[in-house]
Amino acid sequence: MEFFDLGTIFFLVAAVVIFYQLRNVLGRRTGQERPPFDPYTAARTGENEPASDNVVPLPKRSEAVHQPNDYSAIDSFAPAGSELNTGLRQIHDADPSFDPRGFVEGAKMAYEMIVMAYADGDRQTLRNLLSKEVYEGFVAAIDEREQQNEKVESSFVGIDKVDLVGAEMKGTESHLTLRIVSELISATRNSSGEVVDGDPETVAEVKDVWTFARDTRTSDPNWKLVATEAED
* Cβ atoms < 10 Å from Cβ of 98: 27
Nearest in space to 78 (alpha carbons), one of 65, 91, 94, 67: 91
Answer for the pair 176, 183: CB distance below 8 angstroms, yes or no: no
Assigned domain for 8 exists: no
Q: Which sign does the torsion angle of CA 50, 66, 174, 215 carry?
A: positive
Helix (H) or strand (E) holding 176: strand 173-189
* 130: in domain: yes
Domain annotation covers residue 194 = yes
For position 27, what pLDDT does the model report? 38
Do the domain assignments include residue 4?
A: no
Evaluate whether residue 81 is within a structural domain. Answer: yes
**Residue 49: per-residue pLDDT:** 43
Q: Does residue 213 have a pLDDT over 60? A: yes
**How many separate helices (H) and strands (E) can be counted in the chain?**
6, 5
Q: How confident is the model at residue 51 (pLDDT cuts 50, 70, 90)?
A: very low
Quote the CA–CA distance of 210 and 92 in Å, as a whole number. Answer: 20
> What are 165-199's pLDDT values in tens digits?
999 999 999 999 999 999 999 999 999 999 999 99
Among 118, 156, 136, 129, CA closest to 24: 118
Q: Which is more confidently placed, 189 or 40? A: 189
Would you say residue 39 lies in a domain? yes
Percent of all residues in the chain with a pLDDT value above 70, rounded to a whole number: 70
**In this predicted model, what pLDDT tens digit does every residue of 87-133 receive, in sequence order?**
999 999 999 999 999 999 999 999 999 999 999 999 999 999 999 99
pTM over 0.75: no
Q: Could you write out the three-class secondary structure of 121-145?
A: CCHHHHHHHECHHHHHHHHHHHHHH
Q: What proportion of the chain, given as a percentage, has pLDDT over 90?
A: 66
Question: In the structure, what pLDDT confidence band is assigned to residue 221 with cuts at 50, 70 and 90?
Answer: confident
Q: Is the pLDDT of residue 57 over 70?
A: no
Average pLDDT, the chain: 79
Give the pLDDT score at 3: 43
Write out the residue range of the structural domain in which residue 88 sits: 15-230
Is residue 112 assigned to a domain? yes
pLDDT of the residue at 68? 60
- Give me the CATH number covering residue 47: 3.10.450.240
Q: How far apart are CA 5 and CA 34, in angstroms?
A: 24
| Per-residue pLDDT, 67 | 62
Distance CA 67, CA 151 (A): 50
Domain count within the chain: 1
Q: Amino acid identity of 117?
A: A
Q: What is the dihedral of CA 38, 42, 46, 50, to 10 degrees?
A: 10
Asked if residue 32 belongs to a domain, the reply is yes
Q: How is residue 104 annotated by DSSP? A: H
Question: Residue 138 class from Cβ within 10 Å (0-12 exposed, 13-18 middle, 19+ buried)?
Answer: buried
Q: Average pLDDT for residues 205-231, to the nearest whole number?
A: 93
Contact 22, 141 (CB under 8 A): yes
Q: How confident is the model at residue 154 (pLDDT cuts 50, 70, 90)?
A: very high
